[in-house]
Homo-oligomer: A and B are copies of this chain.
Amino acid sequence: MPYDPSAFPPFAVTVDLVVLTVRRHALCALAVRRGEPPFQGRWALPGGFVRADEDLAQAAARELAEETGLRAHDPSVPAQDNGAHLEQLATYGDPKRDPRMRVVSVAHLALAPDLPAPRAGGDASNARWAPVDELLQQGGYGRDGEPVAPLAFDHAQILSDGVERARSKIEYSSLATAFCPTEFTVGELRRVYEAVWGVALDPRNFHRKVTGTPGFLVPTGGTTTRQGGRPAQLFRAGGATLLNPPMLRPEV
Name A residues whose Cβ lies closer than 8 Å to a Cβ of B: 1-3, 5, 7-14, 35-37, 48-56, 88, 90-95, 100-102, 104, 106
Contact = CB atoms under 8 A, between A and B. Distances in A.
Chain A interface SS verdict (over half): loop
Given A50-B93, A88-B90, A56 B104 contact: yes
13 contacts: A2-B36, A5-B101, A8-B12, A8-B50, A9-B52, A11-B11, A11-B104, A50-B104, A52-B102, A53-B95, A56-B91, A56-B94, A104-B104
Contacts of A101: 5
Given A88-B91, A91-B56, A100 B10 contact: no
A37 B3 CA distance: 9
A56 to B, nearest CB: 4
What 10 pairs between A and B have smallest CB-CB spacing?
A10-B10, A9-B52, A8-B49, A56-B93, A91-B91, A11-B13, A8-B12, A11-B11, A91-B106, A55-B94
Nearest to A53: B95
Contacts of A56: 91-94, 104
A54 B91 contact: no
Contacts of A104: 11, 13, 50, 56, 104, 106
Contacts of A35: 2
Contacts of A52: 9, 95, 102
A19 to B, nearest CB: 18
A194 B84 CA distance: 37
Given A10-B11, A11-B104, A91-B106, 18 more contacts: A1-B48, A2-B36, A3-B36, A3-B100, A8-B13, A8-B49, A9-B50, A10-B12, A11-B50, A13-B13, A50-B93, A52-B102, A53-B95, A54-B95, A55-B93, A55-B95, A56-B93, A88-B90
